[in-house]
Chain A
Amino acid sequence: MFKNIKHILMIAGAALLAFSCQDYLNQPPVGSLSPDGFYTTAAHLESGVLGVYAKLPAIENPQYLLFSEDRSDNFWADPDPNGVRSCSEVAFLRINGSLSELGTLWAGWYSLIYNANTVLANIDAAEFSDAAIKNQFKGEVLFLRALAHFELARTFGNVPIVDHILSPSESKELTQSPAADVINNRVIPDLVEAEGLLPFRASMKGATGSSVASQGRADKLAAQALLARVYMTLKGYPFNDASAKAKALTYLDQVIQNGAAYFAPTIAEWKKQFMTDQAQSNKYQIFAIQHADTGHGNTLTFEEGVGIANLNIVTDEYHSGNGMTSLYPEATLHYEFVSNNDPRGLGFYFLDGYDAYGKTPAYASRTTTFQYEGKSIQTIENAINIKWCPTAPKRNETGIAFDETSMGTSTGSRNKWPLNFPILRYEDMMLLRAELYVEDGNVASAMGLVNQIRKRAGVPERILNASAADAMKYVKLERKLELYLEGVRWFDEVRYGEWKECTLAMWDNYKVDGKYRTNVAPGNIQDGRHFLPIPLSETNAAPGLYTQNTGW
């Protein structure tokens, strides 16, 4: 019997020995790369840099549509949709911290910053055959990190600055910095450094030294344009930094000088930038989120308008729109476009409706009376936004064809057209410059810039000797018309210190029989609400770490 026990012990011992190998139990997922040892070569670092850019599409919708255009007086959202819809909650300032898009936006930018910091932490040690390429990569990443901090600061106000990879414990202790500090201490130094490191677009290169000019990556001009926007922001409400104006002027002049080629010569050319041809859009846009294929298409297409599932509009139903998102061009803006036959508006930015097709019923557009410029006007209050949808007529007009069947038929893909989304446009810079001309009493120069744009569009030009007040009104209006649906207007309203007045004016204008529309509560327009609330997901993750913004 003793012998048998010895046998058992031997078997058991052998079995236990087999386990001693720790490596046997190391089994990382076989379908993914591990970050260990990545980021060491120029090629890998380029993938890393593009990985930072690749974080932009997820941010695009909340940053530039939901929390910008939707909050501005460019848009009228249905205050009373059939269900709780984020667009309506945001537009009528019924936001609360648990609104999921708040968390998406905040986390999206910080995820971009993390990936930027990962590249920055590794790039210095990596081997590059050409130091210029290393500098360019670094410059691109600094530009993106600056963009992230800037958007966070002007959207949420006081936010944490993250300039290196944080440990879990650091991340639980890092507090908010005042918005002005975020911009002055992080955004501007990053952009200035990027501006120094980056070449102009023509000289932008990939890891192998070949040109990447067509990829729409951030170049020196983009850094200058963003610096101009940053200083214009500092100059306005709520920062009111008087010293920013001189810097803004410097950068605006540089952009206008360096970027003259970005001004599309004709309206026909201008329209091409909003179509599916990346080369055409990058030709006229200083910096844009690239949507090179439908798998990475424009996320605004689906959300911007009510359903236009109709064969008359697109040759197939490759834009079903989101019937639940009831967002319409604001009525007086609609009127401004339509009454001037502005080619940018009807048919290009929006449609008034569509006819019945087969048994699909016609779109029920609604004509309503509004007050505009002191008179009563009748205009459509529920036009359909199509700026990010290259409908068949638009494709015919611009000659830029696209085979929509390549998008597939699943709801997720067929509403994502490969249209770039511009962040920085030359016209934006021109009109910012015009603002400063008006401020400085040089109305003629200001109107010159405005008229350059209006002339191209074929709409009546402004008189050169307008009063300063009128001139400023024209500049502001032109910004709305030219940059409609690009997420610019809301931050203009804030910069001008007019967001409360503008919002209330629109709500007033939509009254029925002297009463606000259902669920419109002017009491929600409160001081401080130009900043969004800090998301509940963040305040929950680190209780007590962040201070909630005033007004929420």
Chain B
Amino acid sequence: MRSFFSVGQKAFYALLTTVALLLASVPASAQTTSGKVLDTNGVPVIGAAVMVPGTTTGVTTDIDGNFELRVAPGTVLEVSCIGYVSKHVTAAANMSIVLEEDAEMLEETVVIGYGSVKKTDLTSAVSKMDNKGIEDRPMARAEQALQGQLAGVSVRVTSAEPGADPEIRVRGAASISAGNNPLYVIDGVPQSSMTGINPNDIASIEVLKDAASSAIYGSRGSNGVVIVTTKQGQKGKPKVSYSGTVGLSTLEKRMDVFSATEWMEFAIKYMDHRYLQLYPKGNISDDNETRMKNLGYSAPVRTGGNAINFDDRWFKYLSKDIQAAHTYHDDGTELSLLDWQSYAYSPAWQQSHNVSISGANDATKYMFSLGYLDQDGLSPASSYKRINLRTNVESKLNKWLTVGLNLAPSFIINVGAGRGNGKDTRAHHVLTSPPVSDTGVGYNTQYYPNTTYLWGGTGMRPKVYYEDTAPVSHQLRLQASTFLRANPFDGFQIEATASATYYNNNTNTFSAETLTNQNWLKGEGVSSSETHSTEYSINTLLQVVANYNKTFGKHNVAAMLGASSELGNIGYSTTQSYGNLANDVIRGTFTGSNSTTTPTVKSSNVAEKTNTKLLSAFGRLSYNYDNRYMVSASLRRDGYSRFGSQNKWGWFPSASAGWMISNEPFFKNGGLGWWNTLKLRVSYGQTGNYGIGEAAAYSTLTADSYANTLAYYAGSFGNNALGWEKTHSWDVAVDLGFLNNRIQLSVDWYTKTTTDLLYQVPVPSVFGTTTVTDNLGSVLNHGLEIELNTQNISNRDFTWSTSFNVSYNRNKVLQLGDNTTVGDYVITRSNMQMNQILRIGYPMYEFFELKYLGVWKTQAEIDEYIAKTGLVPKFKGAAVVPGDPKYEDVDGDGNVNDDARDWQVCGDPAPKFVFGMTNRFQWKNFDASILFTAQTGGQILGGFGRAVDRPRMGTQQNAMGHWRNAWWSETEQGDGWLPYPLTTKESNVDSRFLYSSDYFRIKNLTLGYKIPFKNFISSARIYLSIENLLILDSYYLGYSPEASNQGGFVGIDYGAYPSARTFTLGLNINF
């Protein structure tokens, strides 16, 4: 806050000085004063007015920003230009005047659906981000740039895999099954994602947040609309730009798992305890042979929960005490001691290059660009390469007719997608692989000629295995749209657009299995397999939109009317897979003629896609009186093919109003010179969410066979009444501007009630199926958004600006199906016992588990419980013993059942507050920006704990480092949190895996330097950018508290791809 005061004081003193100077001005002889007007980037400002206030004396600057004027020395001059803050200066010779861009952005326009408005006329909630926040950060996905930038728009990097989709939520999530991703509108064409867009081509991104703005997109508006506008040529000579980066990624965080010696120590201790459990008469000094004999085993048991036989070679790495307590027969051979994380996640390079040429003359505007990105992931055989081309051309045919073409092909090669993220992937195995392997084997376990380490699991594999089995996918996406625009008379414009998006994906996976797992015994190629899948789809749009905009005196009227027809999901997909291959060399050609063996066709499928058809008509009417009173209303009608025959069509109305109080005479005359803007906005609208499966409304039969004969039975149970999810949303907001609008504050409060949720409603199975899709239930989201932008310091050599935003969102289930009783819950998601529930009156997807309280440390503690409650504590019917986990016994019967009787709400996956803050500094030619992001108030379930953080896992897996402090006996109680590693009375998943997802991150730090060039190069800048510089969090079971990788589950992390810290050097040159 201090900076704001100092800004205020400065401005106040500046004002006083000016006034004093004006009062004190004395006549003096006229002299020639001259100077140059520049913007903050040092670019000349053309056509700026340099005037003596109150007179007609003045000139405008020329093409180089120069002016010359004859006035008395010491005269105060006012320098002004549209789009800049006016400035008073004292006349002198050879002045250099820097004008700041007007922070109020009076004339700034904001793109809204099917049109644009001046920002000051806006009556709904639309956030805008220009390309400043995008250009310095080499990102595979432009969406990532939105993180921390806009209030109410939360971006989570749920997987750090190169090219993976980030999760975007606009004002919370409400839908249970219809999806919560916003609609993307790229240069006017609705799309389901931003994949393939080159971040460097983006001019601005607008997010329509409230229903009043998004209702114009009707049945797809409920999750907000992200409008992306790509760059257009600007008037002037051709502008050639190059930008390039080179970067290096490293592991942002290391997970705490056992080191090799810790693992061996733990394994021996575990085996000793297990042996004594199975054979109480034994002694830990019994050697392997004796242990087997005593237990009647015919062969050693080295793995699994029953493991009792250690590797005799371990002891030489362990302490004297452990050696002395055991009998072993070390043959002296060395083991390989491993660190899988360091091995697997080696630093990865990335580079990007972009070239663009743009410009415009009277008839034609053009922009051509070429982009290349090559990003290697931290995990081996995971990479993302993208080539983008873009042509945006528009040409005036005559005075009233314009045609245009946007063509944007992109080509992506993605290697290893999905292989390093999630359960049973490399991300999982890197952490669970035991850190020990056989003599001389190192990391090459299970790879020719090495077999599995006898004490290890099958997850231990070298990098080369992942390289041999990585899927390679080639994606081609072509976005093409063309338009014809007519402006037959003043204020009226009609535009017809036709567009097509073509998408093609080929994924080839050759799993060269010959060299793994003893498959070499069978011969080259025999165990290898090849899978090839192809897919293409076409989406088309035909659209006519008419806009009319006219000002009559103080009245401004804007009207829009349009209609569109979208035909989507046209295409086919195929999958083929082969086995029994001739060799591992030929990997993509299986014609039968190029090998001596005939590959076995394991599957060969062709599927036609079911078209989607969306017909729409829409219109909007806006009225503005004297820039003081604004009202706007819109209406859309959509018909969609995936809905039931009784419910194909829906209406989506909206209305909004604004009052610019600061334009009222009473406000202007109120003497509050420091208060420039006060605007109230209120809006209401209805939007929809149409995201359902193709068969939800239609009944189908499933083909099968029985006794080799064709059989049919009921497949989907259609529901012909199925319709849209409807969201009713209110937004009340105030926009404030102070001190020449150097301080701008917007506060939005909203409610968003979603009804008729598309929901898989459980029905009693006697109906014939277990669930049907129906429109039931409702959810309320409400929240507060604050955006604060300040120009803290602004002078010629040094500027400092801050953008801060905070979003608060809460959601609450209002109704669930027929069931309206408060307190009842439905387990909507349960996977491997990671349960999430919906309860009326509470947030969505609360975690519902046994509440873990620590360990029963001693028998005395158990006895005390018995004495106090009269109940013998049990877990699933079996009495607990010291070392067993202690759970909260919800139903109070002494017996903890791992089911709804004792489960309770243990957390909420949605953070309450999300923060973002950007500070930008500029000093002479140096600049810096720093982006902080943070969230608080939510939990994350480290589902991965199931694989690496549970008792009774045996020695086949590595374990989280905190098992160093496990309970082993009443005399070795550990930290009281982790139970006896041999206990079986622990649930698969419980609240022990829940962690706070609060974090604070220095998401990005960029330092730049503008190289002063003359002539040939108009500007050049080099910069260093560090992504994920620092994170403060308390999440133990994964790499990032933002991770979420369990399909539709929210806030569950099961071995997510590790996040990277990336150092990038960049260069931008404009010719």
Contact = CB atoms under 8 A, between A and B. Distances in A.
Describe B's contact surface by its main secondary structure. Answer: loop
B669 interface: no
Contact of B700 (A29, A80, A293, A367): A29
A512 interface: yes
A353 B563 contact: no
Contacts of B602: 408-410
Contacts of A53: 706-707, 711
Interface string A404-442: 011011100000000000000000000000000000000
A28 B879 CA distance: 56
A33 B701 contact: yes
A166 B767 contact: yes
Given A32-B700, A48-B712, A80 B305 contact: yes
Given A27-B641, A53-B706, A360-B518, A118 B714 contact: yes
Contacts of A168: 763, 767, 772
B129 to A, nearest CB: 33
A8 B768 contact: no
Interface stretch (A251-259, A336-344, A539-547): A539-547
A50 B707 contact: yes
Contact of B984 (A46, A296, A519): A519
Among A48, A55, A107, A543, the most chain B Cβ lie within 10 Å of the Cβ of A107
B898 A84 contact: yes
A473 interface: no
Contacts of B518: 358-360
Interface string B140-183: 00000000000000000000000000000000000000000000
Contact of B299 (A38, A47, A217, A365): A365
B255 interface: no
B700 A33 contact: yes
Determine the interface band of chain B, counting residues with CB < 8 A from chain A.
Answer: 35 or more
Nearest to B298: A365
A513 B278 CA distance: 10
A22 B643 CA distance: 12
Interface string B896-930: 01111100000000000000000000000000000
Among A206, A356, A519, the most chain B Cβ lie within 10 Å of the Cβ of A519
Determine the interface band of chain A, counting residues with CB < 8 A from chain B.
Answer: 35 or more
B3 interface: no
A543 B824 contact: yes
Interface string B295-333: 111111110111000000000000000000000000000
B1034 interface: no
Contacts of B451: 358-360
A218 to B, nearest CB: 12
Contacts of A33: 700-701, 703, 712
A323 B457 CA distance: 12
Contacts of A368: 296
A373 B227 CA distance: 81
A216 B709 CA distance: 12
Given A96-B898, A96-B899, A541-B764, A83 B615 contact: no
Contacts of B302: 361
Contacts of B1046: none
Contact of A114 (B492, B710, B711, B769): B769
A12 B563 contact: yes
Given A32-B695, A361-B300, A518-B277, A296 B899 contact: no
Contacts of B984: 80, 518-519
Contacts of B641: 24-27
B607 A31 contact: yes
A160 B766 contact: yes
B712 A353 contact: no
Contact of B713 (A8, A55, A103, A160): A55
A25 B649 CA distance: 10
Given A29-B694, A409-B579, A512-B278, A94 B763 contact: no
A353 B297 CA distance: 11
Interface in A490-512: 512
Interface stretch (A13-21, A232-240, A265-273): A13-21
A463 interface: no
Contacts of B824: 543
A193 to B, nearest CB: 21
Contact of B706 (A50, A365, A542): A50
A313 to B, nearest CB: 15
B521 A358 contact: yes
Contacts of B546: 8, 11-12
Contact of A292 (B452, B607, B707, B985): B707
A140 B509 CA distance: 45
A167 B56 CA distance: 86
A16 B764 CA distance: 43
A360 B303 CA distance: 13
Contacts of B297: 364-366
Interface in A508-547: 512-513, 518-521, 523-524, 536-538, 540-543, 545
A503 to B, nearest CB: 14
Contacts of A523: 877
B695 A278 contact: no
Contact of A541 (B612, B714, B770, B876): B770
A215 interface: yes
A409 B544 CA distance: 54
Given A30-B610, A171-B763, A174-B766, A215 B709 contact: yes
B877 A362 contact: no
Nearest to B988: A84
B762 A36 contact: no
Interface in B693-731: 694-695, 698-716
A103 B714 CA distance: 18
A4 interface: yes
B580 A405 contact: yes
A52 interface: yes
Contacts of B300: 361, 364
B563 A82 contact: no
Nearest to A162: B766
B299 A364 contact: yes
B523 to A, nearest CB: 12
A27 B698 CA distance: 9
B705 A54 contact: yes
A38 B699 contact: no
B298 A362 contact: yes
A452 interface: no
A81 interface: yes
A15 B298 contact: no
A297 B641 CA distance: 38
Nearest to B569: A27
Given A8-B494, A84-B988, A292 B489 contact: no
A94 B715 CA distance: 34
Contacts of A292: 705-708
Contacts of A162: 766
9 contacts: A12-B617, A25-B639, A26-B641, A32-B715, A54-B706, A118-B714, A166-B767, A172-B763, A405-B580
Closest 5 CB pairs of A and B: A114-B768, A82-B305, A15-B563, A51-B713, A50-B711
Interface of B: 277-278, 280-281, 292, 295-302, 304-306, 451-452, 454, 488-489, 492, 494, 518, 521, 527, 529, 544, 546, 561, 563, 565, 579-580, 600, 602, 607-613, 615, 617, 639-643, 645, 648, 694-695, 698-716, 762-770, 772, 819, 824, 826-827, 830, 833, 874, 876-879, 897-901, 950, 952-954, 984-985, 987-988
Interface of A: 1, 4, 8, 11-12, 15-16, 18-19, 22, 24-36, 38, 44, 46-48, 50-55, 80-84, 93-94, 96-98, 103, 106-107, 110-111, 113-115, 118, 160, 162, 165-166, 168, 171-172, 174, 206, 212, 215-217, 278, 290, 292-293, 295-296, 323, 353, 356, 358-368, 378, 405-406, 408-410, 512-513, 518-521, 523-524, 536-538, 540-543, 545
Given A18-B615, A111-B713, 6 more contacts: A8-B546, A34-B699, A35-B714, A98-B899, A106-B765, A409-B529
